[in-house]
Chain A
Amino acid sequence: MSTTTAELLRGAAELFPDEVVTQAHVRHIDLPGAGRFALITLDNGLDHTKPTTFGPQSLANLDKAIDQVEKEAAEGTITGVGITGKPFIFAVGADLKGVELLKKHEDALAIGKGGHEVFKRLSGLAVPTFAYYNGAAMGGGVEVGLHCAYRTVSAALPAFSLPEVFLGLVPGWGGCTILPNLIGADRAVSVIIENSLNQNKQLKGEQVYDLGIADAIFEGADFLEQSLLWTAAVLKGELEIVRPEVDRGEAWDQAVERGRFIADSKVHGAAPAAYRALDIIAAAKNGDLQQGFDAEDQALADLIMGGELRSGIYAFNLVQKRGKRPAGAPDKNLARPVSKVGVVGAGLMASQLALLFARRLEVPVVLTDIDQQRVDKGVGYVHGEIDKLLLKGRVNRDKANRLKALVSGSLDKAEAFGDADFVIEAVFEEIGVKQQVFAEVEAVVSPTAILATNTSSLSVSEMASKLEHPERVVGFHFFNPVAILPLLEIVRGEQTDDASLATAFAVAKKLKKTAVLVKDAPAFVVNRILTRFMGEIQNVIDEGTPVAVAENAIEPLGLPMSPLVLLELVGPAIGLHVSETLNRAFPDRFTVSPNLAAVVKAGKRGFYVYDSGKPELDPEVAALLVQGDSVLSAEQVRARVLDAVAQEIGLMLEEGVVAEAQDIDLCLITGAGWPFHLGGITPYLDREGVSERVNGKPFLAPGVASVPA
């Protein structure tokens, strides 16, 4: 078996010459009172910022290490085998770069089988095996430990997960099969499905132990020592490890059902990974591990060759890499220090911004407004939010005092902003008002202070045009809820200079936001695409398609919410306002829905009532609707909407609104919560043929978010 595994891995290694190779060191230890013990250390020779991964050569190295300990175990020269990682890292699973390169189903199958063949040798050894989760463990890292007979975990372990479903895979090196058999299906569903789909939630050491994944937990300070002494006690028979019996009855099926419910609520059937994982978990009920492993191999290979995984990896890389190094941002050394922030306006948005700036920048933040009452309300809101943070233990008393002292209000702009380096306005969305505000602020601030606008649809250049120093104006467009959505569209006006832009990016980084550079174009990126998207939905409703059909037509995409629910969240009035702005800019493509206007005019804040627990069209809204007689099928609606989105993105790229399609996707993922399995949207439009149909070409080159040619 070992020979074929080695061959399998050699073949895979040829496809992935740039692998960062993990070594599997074997070192022998005299375990006090328990004989000679072989400890395998997984280590890629780099520090903890480059976590240990498993590519084909790495698996081959582990295979070789197991050759050695297998022989020693058979000869009786060792009493047990352990496996652990380099400092702070156990192992973080398969090397995604290697997965991206795979072009053929059979190669993908080889990766799955290769991992299984190597890992399962651990459970076949003639001596007991132990995994010591000393640090970050993910995916295949978790799984290699699952193949051992016993596990310990460090209380200092910061991150433990099976993130495969999050990316578009299944835990396919034993995770789907062994985990439910170890801790029961319900807990396995929590780890494999729920955490993964909950923005890849990580477990900490304590939780790993509480879930029963590890048999013992030790503090970080002497984790390995205590794990080895515990091992000695197990080997000597002084400690018997008793695990709770796994419920293989109805509870197992209910757990799988719960998993399907979670998957439906998150991806609405639109991404296959969670469902494939659940199928394997369901089948694992019979305890037949090999059958499970075979199913994992097939699922892995299918998913690796599928678009959702490629989109998932693409999206992951966008968020992790491009999101941290924004395309087109100027040299960060040009950035000026920001030691005081001014906020014009003290409404809800302004107050949320003040809180964010105070928390992240830890510099004085002053709110101004037109009367003391508004100012007091704004400052009061911020102080109240800080108290909530204190209550939740997110900040301690000293920090709460510090933050509160940082946030103040004033009616006197000269006093408030005179020494501010960065002033952001969040006043009424009206160009004349904003121009006047900036003129007032410019009169009292230094010539280099940044003037930022949180406008969602007005022209930044126009706003700057009447100033003495228009080069200092930048768009700084947040997304609601400000504390949750990571995206920040940074808008470069016609006259914005590099230093101001660099300062804006530096501030964004401190705010821990995902900054994307966008051109000063109507509604920038997210709002333009969402408005076009919703505009098309409204159009078909206005033309006669029933609301329910139009709403459900988009469900196969697995968006976080339906279009009208989103419009409710944004607020119909704001939605209408943005559509009017875009209609003025692009009257041929953006319409203003008379029905939406009627709903806004009637003062309705939403379309649905939730009295029955489920959303039902508000009868009052239904009464307002005036529809035509052109009824489309769901499929026709979907095609029309996707065509519109593809067209709009194509035009935006031609206009140079952003550098590349990647930025559009990054904006949609981080600003609108569009899912990884769509890769934002352009990978989906490409693979569904929409891009080709509308624009005559795909947005992305083959291999970028798809199986390489």
Chain B
Amino acid sequence: MPRTARDVVFVDGVRTPFGKAGPKGIYHETRADDLVIKSIRELLRRNPSLPPERIDEVAVAATTQIGDQGLTLGRTAAILAGLPKSVPGFSIDRMCAGALTAVTTTAGGIAFGAYDVVVAGGVEHMGRHPMGEGVDPNPRFVSEKLVDDSALFMGMTAENLHDRFPHITKQRADEYAVRSQEKAAKAYANGKIQQDLVPISVRRSNPEAGETGWGLATTDEPMRPGTTLESLAALKTPFRAHGRVTAGNAAGLNDGATASLLAAEDVAQELGLPIKARLVSYAFAGVEPEVMGIGPVPATEKALAKAGLSIDDIGLFEVNEAFAVQVLALLDHYGIADDDERVNQYGGAIAFGHPLASSGVRLITQLASQFAEQPHVRYGLTTMCVGFGMGGTIIWENPRWSEATIKHSDGGSK
């Protein structure tokens, strides 16, 4: 049976404000599944022309799939969000790249013709589900030296990456982190972030954490505007004595959820849905688990090759900032300056936070906003490193781009 692959488009994306994990965090008394459910509902509210029964799949990622992140979250969240019972769903896990994988997997299904419209997103409540909760690594990892002990601890893999690239110093990482906070604060001030956020009602019973009763989360809790090099220099290096990785040049432990709508391009047009980005290619790649932060490099190489593009064709980058060193490793690989204005224009996970399996959709949503503002840019990419030695990259095309926009824009070469 001959088939034609269909174009897949990113319709819309939202997220909860991200919170700090732990007893004083805004979401300490909020269920993880509720974060997803409320995000899905907001997506539907924002896209009233989408009949909910047209959704063919709900893919929700979570790294720790137990408790309120278990029970086949994609399906249960769909029901709890009020989607028709005819809409199926499933759970997905690729650690940090969970939501990214939810997007690529369902996008593959759309291209194949299995789906018309999907919901893809992710959640991680690291307060309720700390990293490593309930894991039981096979002892052969150690006995057969398949991976180093450090491979299981993300902070240690980041130190390992500094070892591999001695020219990426703590100073450079800290400078990068300060810029991320500055850019994020500026993006907030310019109203670039709020539009993506789903307000979440939050209950607090512990007076030590602040005012008690019901509140409303409307902004990212982890943000530290005004962060300086000096303040970062004073931080401990918890993963290694006299190391380089600190709480300041890495993303924290966070709670949050994201959700996005993807569709076949013709279906989006039929339903009058917005087209914010068009999928060009995607790839995942494996690397040594001890230096998982290098993962975006081979993943991006693969994705570019599949798209027939070179890195010079990419006008906007949304790189997940699990660790500053991991972003810098990617930039160094391509000879891109640390402060290149195409990279993470609104700041990144160091400022906003990184609730593991949810983050991928945040990258895409922010890239889509940048596409809308910068029609002279034709291609952008979203990329992230993944635990146990992986990277994932998606290349997107700006639907606003056209030959005409090049002529009318001054500096836009890409």
Contact = CB atoms under 8 A, between A and B. Distances in A.
A224 interface: yes
A27 interface: yes
Interface string A18-30: 0000010111111
A222 B201 contact: yes
Nearest to A28: B211
Interface in B104-153: none
B41 A222 contact: yes
Nearest to B38: A222
Contacts of B204: 27
B199 A27 contact: no
Interface stretch (B7-15, B55-63, B173-181, B213-221): B213-221
Contacts of A43: 205, 213
Interface in A195-252: 219, 221-222, 224-225, 228-229
Given A219-B82, A224-B201, A29 B216 contact: yes
A29 B203 CA distance: 12
A225 B211 contact: no
B27 to A, nearest CB: 14
A26 B213 contact: yes
Contacts of A27: 204, 210-215
Given A221-B41, A225-B201, A31 B216 contact: yes
A649 B16 CA distance: 65
Nearest to B211: A27
Chain A binding surface, main DSSP class = strand
A394 B375 CA distance: 57
A32 interface: yes
A400 interface: no
Contacts, number: 66
A39 B214 contact: yes
Contacts of B218: 29-30, 32
Interface string B158-171: 00000000000000
Interface in B34-49: 37-38, 41-42
Contact of B215 (A29, A86, A87, A229): A29
A690 to B, nearest CB: 52
B200 interface: yes
A228 B214 CA distance: 11
A352 B204 CA distance: 51
A197 to B, nearest CB: 35
A684 to B, nearest CB: 45
Band of interface residues on B: 20 to 34
Contacts of A579: none
B41 A25 contact: no
Contacts of A84: 214
Interface string B76-97: 0000111000000000000000
A45 B205 CA distance: 8
A40 interface: yes
A170 to B, nearest CB: 31
Given A32-B218, A221-B80, A228 B213 contact: no
B227 interface: no
A670 interface: no
A47 B216 CA distance: 21
B194 interface: yes
A222 B80 CA distance: 11
B75 to A, nearest CB: 16
Nearest to B201: A224
A222 B200 CA distance: 8
A25 B202 CA distance: 13
B82 A221 contact: yes
Interface in A20-69: 23, 25-32, 39-41, 43, 45
- Which residue of B37, B80, B205, B219 has the most chain A CB atoms within 10 A of its CB atom? B205
A229 B210 CA distance: 22
B194 A32 contact: yes
B200 A225 contact: yes
Contacts of A87: 203
A411 B352 CA distance: 76
- Which residue of B82, B200, B210, B215 has the most chain A CB atoms within 10 A of its CB atom? B215
A201 B360 CA distance: 50
A40 B211 CA distance: 11
Contacts of A31: 216
B7 to A, nearest CB: 33
A100 to B, nearest CB: 30
A225 B215 contact: no
Nearest to A31: B216
Nearest to A42: B213
A45 B207 CA distance: 13
- Which residue of B194, B201, B203 has the most chain A CB atoms within 10 A of its CB atom? B201
A29 to B, nearest CB: 5
A224 B80 contact: no
Nearest to A45: B205
A229 B199 CA distance: 9
Nearest to B216: A29
Contacts of B200: 225
B31 to A, nearest CB: 11
Contacts of B198: 225
19 contacts: A23-B212, A25-B211, A27-B204, A30-B216, A30-B218, A30-B219, A31-B216, A32-B194, A32-B218, A39-B214, A87-B203, A221-B37, A222-B41, A222-B201, A224-B214, A225-B38, A225-B198, A225-B199, A225-B216
Interface of B: 37-38, 41-42, 80-82, 194, 198-201, 203-205, 210-216, 218-219
Given A32-B199, A224-B216, 8 more contacts: A27-B210, A27-B215, A30-B216, A30-B219, A32-B194, A84-B214, A225-B38, A228-B216
Interface of A: 23, 25-32, 39-41, 43, 45, 84, 86-87, 219, 221-222, 224-225, 228-229
Q: Which 10 A-B pairs have the closest CB atoms?
A: A25-B213, A41-B213, A224-B201, A27-B211, A27-B213, A25-B212, A29-B216, A41-B214, A27-B215, A222-B38
